[in-house]
């Protein structure tokens, strides 16, 4: 499931050129990196949006300020970090499934199966070794802060000295996370990527050259959500040149780390 972050100026060249100056995007492979991912998810999904109830939902790690679930062990996790503060800014994961939906379902199959069209189910089961699902996209509230808002994560004396140029790059945290998950999917041989999204998110992502195809009905699942699919073939055709270079930079930076990880043998 992907919630709807705040986007501004997705294709602004200045924001894109400055993004890597202010943020790093990495595969979260170590326990420390994964802990940072789970902490972002806790702040967003539990404390801010209240999608998950820390008292009632059966989710691992709630008592430690981390949100985890059964899909994390077979996921490739992405972490976006703010360089100036070393503060985790955003995260997303790609959930892998090699078995049937009965033995190893993707999140959308477990929780939203009734919303999937017959064609969607057929696509999901055509070749399980080539599919993955993007989920748990989260951007830390600080990096979605609008001008004039007082909320931040550093306490009364912890406000950051952020210039306008740097703040313009904030809008790319989620875009970079989604592009990084697509790069990870390609490295894993997962050319067909699925996601449950608010309908506004794929419309916004289309502006960056990632054109998602809706493959089922809109349902009420933590707000409006619908199932979508995108293929590696399609976004390689539609990415504009500036984002194409950014995508391949991500792909190249992940490649050696991915090949040394446990996912390279899946």
Residue in this structure with the two tokens 């790609």, named with its chain if needed:
94
How buried is 135 (Cβ within 10 angstroms: 0-12 exposed, 13-18 middle, 19+ buried)? buried
Q: Mean pLDDT, the chain, as a whole number?
A: 84
Instruction: Using the CB atoms, write b or e for 11-46: b if 16+ within 10 Å.
Output: ebeebbebbbebbebbbbbeeebbbbbbbbbbbbbb
pLDDT recorded at residue 148: 47
**Average of per-residue pLDDT across 239-259:** 89
Residue 5 lies in a domain: no
pLDDT recorded at residue 6: 43
Residue 85 lies in a domain: yes
Q: Tell me the pLDDT band of 75, cut-offs 50, 70 and 90.
A: very high
Residue 229 lies in a domain: yes
Instruction: Using the CB atoms, write b or e for 195-214: b if 16+ within 10 Å.
Output: bbbbeebbebbeebbbbbee
pLDDT recorded at residue 199: 93
Cα distance from N-terminal residue to C-terminal residue, the chain:
23
Rounded Cα gap, residues 252 and 39, in angstroms: 27
pLDDT recorded at residue 12: 53
pLDDT recorded at residue 9: 44
Q: Tell me the pLDDT band of 3, cut-offs 50, 70 and 90.
A: low
Residue 135 lies in a domain: yes
CATH number at residue 198: 3.40.630.30
* Number of domains making up the chain: 1
pLDDT recorded at residue 83: 93
Q: Is the dihedral angle over the CA atoms 257, 78, 230, 240 positive or is it negative?
A: negative
pLDDT recorded at residue 243: 85
pLDDT recorded at residue 208: 81
pTM flag (> 0.75)? yes
Residue 252 lies in a domain: yes
Residue 153 lies in a domain: no
pLDDT recorded at residue 44: 94
pLDDT recorded at residue 16: 73
Measured CA to CA in angstroms, residue 200 lies from 26, 84, 218, 225, 240 at distances of: 26, 31, 12, 10, 21
Residue 4 lies in a domain: no
Residue 67 lies in a domain: yes
Q: How many other CB atoms are found less than 10 A from the CB of residue 142? A: 20
pLDDT recorded at residue 105: 94
Tokens of 72: 């994390």
Find the domain containing 28 and state its range: 13-147+164-259
How far, rounded to the nearest angstrom, does the alpha carbon of residue 69 sit from its chain's CA centroid? 15
Measured CA to CA in angstroms, residue 145 lies from 77, 111, 128 at distances of: 24, 31, 39
In this predicted model, what pLDDT tens digit does every residue of 90-142 receive, in sequence order?
Answer: 999 999 998 776 789 999 999 998 888 999 999 999 999 999 999 999 999 98
Rounded Cα gap, residues 147 and 43, in angstroms: 21
In this predicted model, what pLDDT tens digit does every residue of 152-192 receive, in sequence order?
Answer: 433 333 456 677 778 778 888 998 999 999 999 999 999 99
Q: How many CA atoms lie within 13 A of 19 on its CB side?
A: 27
Question: Treating both helix axes as pointing N-terminal to C-terminal, what angle do 241-259 and 13-22 enclose, rounded to 10 degrees?
Answer: 20
Residue 72 has pLDDT above 90, yes or no: yes
In this predicted model, what pLDDT tens digit does every residue of 25-63 receive, in sequence order?
Answer: 999 999 999 999 999 999 999 999 888 766 655 545 455
């Amino acid at each position: 499931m992907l919630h709807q972050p705040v986007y501004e100026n997705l294709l602004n060249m200045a924001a894109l050129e400055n993004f890597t100056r202010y943020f790093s995007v990495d595969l979260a492979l170590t326990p420390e990196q994964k802990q940072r991912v789970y902490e972002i998810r806790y702040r967003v999904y539990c404390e801010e949006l209240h999608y998950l109830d820390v008292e009632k939902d059966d989710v691992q790690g709630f008592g430690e300020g981390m949100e985890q679930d059964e899909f994390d062990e077979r996921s490739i996790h992405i972490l976006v970090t703010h360089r100036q503060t070393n503060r985790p800014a955003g995260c997303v994961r790609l959930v892998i499934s090699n078995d049937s939906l009965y033995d190893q379902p993707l999140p959308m199959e477990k929780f939203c199966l009734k919303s999937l069209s017959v064609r969607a189910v057929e696509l999901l089961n055509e070749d399980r070794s080539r599919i993955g699902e993007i989920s748990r996209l989260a951007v830390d509230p600080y990096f979605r802060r609008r001008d004039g808002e007082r909320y931040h994560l550093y306490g009364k004396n912890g406000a950051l000295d952020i210039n306008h140029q740097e703040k313009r790059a904030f809008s790319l945290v989620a875009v970079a996370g989604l592009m990084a998950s697509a790069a990870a999917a390609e490295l894993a041989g997962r050319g067909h990527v699925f996601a449950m999204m608010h309908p506004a998110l794929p419309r916004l992502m289309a502006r960056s050259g990632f054109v998602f195809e809706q493959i089922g009905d809109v349902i009420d699942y933590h707000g409006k959500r619908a199932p979508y699919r995108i293929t590696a073939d399609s976004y390689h055709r539609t990415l504009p040149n500036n984002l194409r270079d950014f995508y391949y930079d991500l792909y190249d930076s992940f490649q050696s780390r991915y090949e040394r990880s446990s996912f390279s043998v899946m």
